[in-house]
Structure 1
Amino acid sequence: MNLSVTLGRMALKNPVVLASGTCGYGREIAPYLDLNTPGAITVKGLSLFPWEGNPPPRLFEVRAGLLNSIGLENKGVERFLQEDLPFLETLDTRIFVNIWGRTVEEYIEVARRLDAAERIDALELNVSCPNVERGGASFLSDPEILRELVGRVREATRKFLIVKLGPAKMQDWEVTVRILEKEGAEALSVTNSFPAMAIDVERMDFVFAMKSAGLSGPAIKPLALKMVYDLVGVTELPIIGMGGVMTAEDALEFLLVGARAVGVGTANLVAPSSAADILEGIKAYLLRKNMENVEDLIGKVR
C-alpha cells in the first residue's frame, strides 16, 4: 500500500499533517504521539519577537467546536531555533513552520532566519488568523498587500512556500489564487478558523477580551470542505485541507474532493494520538476498497 503524496516538489510519506497551533513546537505532543507517524508537523505560528498573545480566557468550548483567542502567542523565531529545532532535527518526518508578522518586513525577516535551517522543509504563511488586531487576516483583505507580502517572502527564502487561507475571501478566490500563483506560493492550506463569538449571559459581557475569536472543530467541517472543493476548481496549487477533521472519514472527504493532504488540528487537543488513528483509518479504507495507492482517492469526487 502506497500512502505517499506529493505537493508539487514536496513529497510526504503520507497525507496526514499536524496543523499549526495544535501541537506546539512538537515536543509538547511527543509523549502522546510518535512524531514520525504523520507526513508532516506544522509548528505553531512564529513571529520575529516573542509575542504574549491575547489576555485570558483564551479557549471556550461550544457545541461541536472550540473557540480560541490565543492571539498567536509564541516564543519568537530565535528562541525556537535555539530551543526547539534541535529536537525537531531528530525526527524522520517533514517539518513545516507557520510564520506571521505585524508588518511585511517582519514576515520577511522571520522567513530569512528560518531559511538557513536545513531541517525545516516548508514555511506556512499565516495570512488568515481571525483573532489578532494587526497581522493575520488583515493581509488577506487587500490584494496589493497580499501580492507584496507573498512576493517578497518568496524572494527571501528557498523553502517550500505554503499560504494559509481563511474564510475572509470566500467570494473571490480566483483573484486571490492568481496573486498567490504569480508571486510564488507553492501550496495552500485551507482553512483557518472562522470568526465567531460567545457571550457570557451571567456577566452580560463577551467571553473574550477581543470580543470575537476563531471557531474550529467539527462545526466548521462542512464549510471547510466546500472551501477546499471551490479552490480545487480554480487553481492547480496543491491544497492541504483542514477544518474539523476528527476521524479518518473526515480526512477521506477532503481527499476525495481534491485536497492532496489533510491537516489535523482541534482533534489533537481532544486526543493527541488522533493523527495515528486517522492514518490507520485511511489504510483500512484503502484495503476495504481494494486500492493500493492513496493518490487514487484524490479528487475522485468532483
Structure 2
Amino acid sequence: MDMSVDFAGLKLKNPILTASGTFGFGLEFKRFGDLESLGGIVVKGLSLKPREGNPMPRIAETPCGMLNAIGIQNPGVEAFIKDKLPKLPWKTLPVLVNLYATGAAEFGELAAVLSAEEGVAALEVNVSCPNVKEGGIAFGQDPSQITKVAEAVKKNAGNKPVIIKLSPNVTNIATCARAAEDGGADGISLINTLSGMAVDIERRVPRLTNVIGGLSGPAVKPVALRCVFQAVNAVKIPVIGLGGIASAEDAAEFLLVGATAVQIGTANFLSPDMAFRIAEELPKVLERVNAKSLDEFRGSLKLPK
C-alpha cells in the first residue's frame, strides 16, 4: 500500500512523525531505528536564545500518562543550526522545527532565522506557551492571538509550510483551528498537553516544582481524537493528530477521523523504537481492516444517521 502523504506541500513517505519534545533532536534515537523510515521528525522546541527550563522535579508519572513541566529547555536556534541540523539526514527526511516565543514579533523573528535553512522542511508553532506580553495568557487560548502569531510566522517563513500546534485547554477547538487558518497557517497539529497536576500526600507538596504541568500519554487519547475530529471538520487545511498514540491501531484511529498525518509522543519514552514500529505496522493494520488505500481510509468514519 502506498503510504506517502502530501501535507501542505510537504512530501512524507508515510504519515508517521515524531512529536516535539519527545524525540530530542532525532539524533538520540538513531540507535533504535532508521530515522529515514519515518515520515518526518519534529525536533524539540527552539527559542531564539538558550533556555535552561524549569527546576527539578519536572516530570511525574500518572495513571496511563505523565505530567511534564520541562519549560522548553533548549540550546537556542543558532546552536541547533550549527550543531544539530548538519548531523540529521534532512536531504531524505523532512525535519520540522517547533518554535517557542513570548510574543508574535519574536515568533516572526525566529521564523525568519529558520526560513533561511535548507535543512528545515517546515515550522511548527507552539501557541500553548505563556504570552508574557499579554499577562501570561497562553496564545492558544485566545483565537485573536492565534491569528496574529500565524500571520507573523507566515510572513517570515519564506517557502516553509507553517503548522500551528493547538492547545486542548480551550472552550471551542474549532474556533481556534479556524483562527489559525485565518492567519494563513498551512496546517495545524493537535493536541498539545492538557493542564494537570499531581501531589504527594506524604510530603504534602506538588510532584512538580512548577506545580502545574502538561498531561500526555494514553489517558489523553479520547480528548485528542475529539479535538482532531472537530478541527478536521472546521477547516480546509490539513491536520496532524497526536495525543496518546501508542500503537499502529491508535494511529489508524486518528487517520479515520480525518488526520492527514500523526505524531508519536509520550510513547517514545515507553519504547524508544515505538515510532519506527508504528511506521512499519500501520500498512498491515490498514490492510487488515480492508482499506483500499490510505486516502480511501482517511476520514471515512461512518457517523450515526
TM over 0.5: yes
Q: Are the aligned partners of 1:137 and 1:168 in contact in 2 as well (CA < 8 Å)?
A: no
Q: How many residues align?
A: 299
Question: Which has the larger displacement, 144-153 or 33-42?
Answer: 144-153
> Which residue of 2 is the match for residue 166 of structure 1?
167
Superposed CA offset, 1:272-295 (max 9, x none): 111121122211123324445222
Shift in alpha-carbon separation, 1:137–1:89, aligned structure 2, 3 A: farther
What are the Cα deviations for residues 176-226 of structure 1, in whole angstroms up to 9, with x where unaligned?
233222221011111001100000111101111211100100010111111
1:211 paired residue number? 211
Find the aligned partners of 2:177 and 2:219 in 1 and give their Cα distance: 26
Q: Distance in 1 between the 2:183 and 2:43 partners?
A: 24
Residue type at the aligned position of 2:65: G
2:148 maps to a residue whose letter is E
Alpha-carbon RMSD across the aligned residues, in angstroms, is: 1.7
Letter in 2 for 1:127: V
- Say yes or no: does 1:37 pair with 2:37: yes
Matched, 1:109 2:102: no
Structure 2, unpaired ranges of 5+: none
Structure 2 CA distance for aligned equivalents of residues 112 and 271 of structure 1: 35
Distance in 1, Cα, partners of 2:131 & 2:232: 30
User: Residue 69 of structure 1 corresponds to which residue in structure 2?
Assistant: 69
In the alignment, is residue 11 of structure 1 matched against residue 6 of structure 2?
no
Contact 1:47 1:106 in 2 (8 A): no
The verdict on how the C-alpha distance between 1:290 and 1:143 changes in structure 2, with shifts beyond 3 A counting, is closer
1:254 aligns with 2:254: yes
| Native 8 Å contact 2:174 2:230 kept in 1 | no
Residues 2-37 of structure 1: per-residue CA shift (max 9 Å, x gap): 001222322211010111001111111111121101
Question: Could you say what secondary structure the match of 2:24 adopts?
Answer: coil
CA contact (8 A) 1:20 1:45 kept: yes
Deviation at 1:101, TM superposition (A): 0.6
Following the alignment from structure 1 to structure 2, what is the Cα–Cα distance between the partners of residues 77 and 91?
20
Alignment match, 1:153 = 153
Give 1:192's aligned residue: 192
Q: Which residue of 2 aligns with 1:92?
A: 92
1:4–1:295 Cα contact (<8 Å) kept:
no
Tell me how far apart the structure 1 counterparts of residues 18 and 174 of structure 2 sit (CA, whole Å).
27
Matched letter for residue 32 of structure 2: Y
- The secondary structure found in structure 2 opposite 1:31 is helix
Q: Distance in 2 between matches of 1:166 and 1:157?
A: 22
State the one-letter code of the partner of 1:239.
V
* TM-score, reference length from structure 2: 0.93
8 Å contact kept, 1:163–1:185? yes
Which is worse superposed, 277-286 or 191-200?
277-286
Query: What is the letter of the counterpart of residue 119 of structure 1?
Result: G
Aligned-partner residue type, residue 167 of structure 2:
G
SS in 2 for 1:168: coil
User: AA paired with 2:253?
Assistant: E
Look up the match of 1:22: 22
Distance 1:102 1:285 in 2: 41
Counterpart Cα distance in 2 of 1:177 and 1:224: 14
Distance 1:286 1:147 in 2: 36
Determine if contact 1:66/1:215 at 8 Å carries over to the other structure: yes
SS at match of 1:29: helix
CA contact (8 A) 2:166 2:177 kept: no
Distance 1:157 1:126 in 2: 15
Secondary structure at the counterpart of residue 189 of structure 2: strand
Q: Secondary structure at the match of 1:92?
A: coil
Query: TM-score normalised to the size of structure 1?
Result: 0.94
- Paired with 1:90 and 1:127, the residues of 2 have a C-alpha distance of 25
- Which amino acid counterpart does residue 81 of structure 2 have in structure 1? L
SS in 2 for 1:140: helix
Following superposition, the deviation at residue 137 of structure 1 comes to 6.6
